[in-house]
Amino acid sequence: RYLGDVVDGKRKAELLKLIAQVERVDIAQTIAVGDGANDLPMLSEAGLGIAFHAKPKVVANAQQSINTIGLDGVLYFLGFKDSYLEERGKL
């Protein structure tokens, strides 16, 4: 059972563009993380598309791929260190 609308790939890309517009961020400065084929439009639209524990088709089409245990791997990929995250109570 789920709550809310099912969001397809096209809608994910649209939402990414909308969020960038609302936040006044250039789409080239956005990052999207996904694992399935329905994430490909969003990953392609983002300035940086990251495949996370993704299916081979997604890995082949993403700019980067991460297979770490948690999403904190994305933060490490972006250059954040444990000390920075610990200071902010995020680890």
Closest CA to 40 of 21, 63, 66: 63
pLDDT at 29 (0 to 100): 97
Model confidence, pTM: 0.79
CB count, 10 Å around CB of 81? Answer: 10
Residue 70: the pLDDT is: 78
Q: What is the pLDDT of residue 41?
A: 98
pLDDT by 10s per residue, the chain, length 91: 777 888 899 999 999 999 999 999 999 999 999 999 999 999 999 999 999 999 999 999 999 999 877 777 787 888 887 787 778 776 5
Q: So what's the pLDDT on residue 27?
A: 98
From the number of C-beta atoms within 10 Å of its C-beta (0-12, 13-18, 19+), residue 8 rates as exposed
Which CATH class, in words, describes the domain spanning 9-87?
Answer: alpha beta
pLDDT computed for residue 91 by the predictor: 55
**Pairing of β 64-66 and β 31-34:** unpaired
